[in-house]
């Protein structure tokens, strides 16, 4: 996991001017938070908060938000803390495997990041969610990488042309490799003029069934998943195209109850 801080700091430097701004995705995430946790003021913890855009939107909506981010992307969040008005937003630059926070939260969010590292890393993080942060009865909203789509991207290489007018100042290449044995995507990036200087992220992908096996015994229970604009139950969904083909991640809605005795 030594690569995490460097990878997200470097890619944040590439894209920060373009992406460190509040957009439709942040408002969609707030709508999901309200759908699954209610609209009343909540104490919210956001893990891997990146530039802080979603945390800022949640704070502006009246929630008390603590955002934790290990990479230099967090430096962009300072502007949102100043600009959030009467909202309550605290940004912490730290490793969420080690950070110490006060009190418990009604909601723990991890947008677009769960799966970094091994199964053991994910279980260790989920253990912290249950033991240290999420109150009994609270909800964890966790984006999970969807193996059906990442597997389809195996071997793909994309050329990202620079677009300085919109803040994308670097010409980049991206290559995706999917390991079907470990269900892991390796996502590799490099600048067009520096093909020998590549950086990669490793993303463990989980089907909903695999996720239920991962969380067994943690005290978290998968109650629904949201894919695109739809929330579906965990009943069989044969041929359900949005999960099979259209979205590279889905939102897992996890409720916190006491683990069952063994």
Q: What is the pLDDT of residues 96-120, one digit of tens each?
A: 999 999 999 999 999 999 999 899 9
pLDDT of residue 86 exceeding 60: no
Q: How many CB atoms lie within 10 A of CB 124?
A: 12
CB 207 within 8 A of CB 147: yes
194 pLDDT more than 90: yes
Q: What is the pLDDT of residues 228-248, one digit of tens each?
A: 888 887 776 676 777 888 999
User: Which two three-digit tokens encode residue 29?
Assistant: 């995430």
Reported in sequence order, the residue ranges of 71-183 that DSSP labels E, i.e. its strands, are 88-93, 105-114, 134-145, 157-160, 172-179
Q: Which two structure tokens, joined as six digits, stand for 198? A: 């590549």
Q: Which residues of 56-69 are buried (b: 16+ CB within 10 A; e: fewer)?
A: bbbbbbebbbbbbb
Integer Cα distance of 62 and 41 in angstroms? 6
Q: Is CATH 3.40.50.2300 the right assignment for the domain spanning 3-145+206-256?
A: no
pLDDT of 232 reads: 83
**d(C-alpha 141, C-alpha 156), whole Å:** 30
Provide the pLDDT for residue 85: 66
pLDDT tens digits, residue range 22-68? 999 999 999 999 999 999 899 999 999 999 999 999 999 999 999 99
Sheet arrangement for strand 43-47: 88-93, 64-69, 43-47, 105-114, 134-145, 249-256, 220-227, 230-232
105, two tokens: 């939260």
Domain ranges in the chain?
3-145+206-256, 149-202
């Amino acid at each position: 996991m030594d690569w995490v801080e460097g990878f997200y700091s470097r890619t944040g430097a590439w894209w920060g001017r373009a992406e460190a701004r509040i957009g439709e995705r942040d408002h969609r995430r707030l709508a999901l938070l309200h759908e699954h946790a209610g609209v009343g003021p909540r104490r919210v913890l956001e893990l891997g908060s990146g530039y802080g855009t979603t945390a800022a939107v949640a704070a502006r909506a009246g929630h008390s938000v603590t955002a934790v981010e290990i990479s230099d992307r967090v430096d962009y969040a300072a502007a949102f803390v100043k600009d959030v008005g009467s909202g309550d937003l605290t940004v912490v630059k730290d490793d969420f495997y080690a950070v110490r926070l006060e009190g418990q939260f009604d909601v723990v969010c991890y947008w677009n990041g769960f799966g970094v590292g091994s199964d053991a890393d994910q279980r260790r993080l989920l253990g912290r969610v249950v033991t240290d942060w999420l109150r009994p009865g609270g909800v964890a909203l966790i984006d999970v990488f969807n193996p059906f789509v990442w597997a389809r991207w195996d071997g793909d290489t994309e050329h990202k042309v620079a677009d300085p007018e919109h803040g994308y100042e670097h010409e980049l290449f991206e290559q995706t490799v999917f390991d079907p044995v470990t269900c892991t995507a390796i996502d590799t990036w490099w600048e067009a003029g520096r093909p020998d200087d590549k950086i990669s992220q490793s993303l463990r992908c989980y089907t909903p069934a695999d996720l239920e096996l991962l969380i067994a015994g943690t005290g978290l229970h998968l109650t629904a998943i949201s894919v695109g604009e739809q929330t579906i139950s965990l009943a069989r969904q044969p041929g359900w195209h949005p999960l099979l083909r259209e979205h590279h991640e889905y939102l897992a809605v996890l409720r916190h109850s006491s683990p069952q005795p063994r």
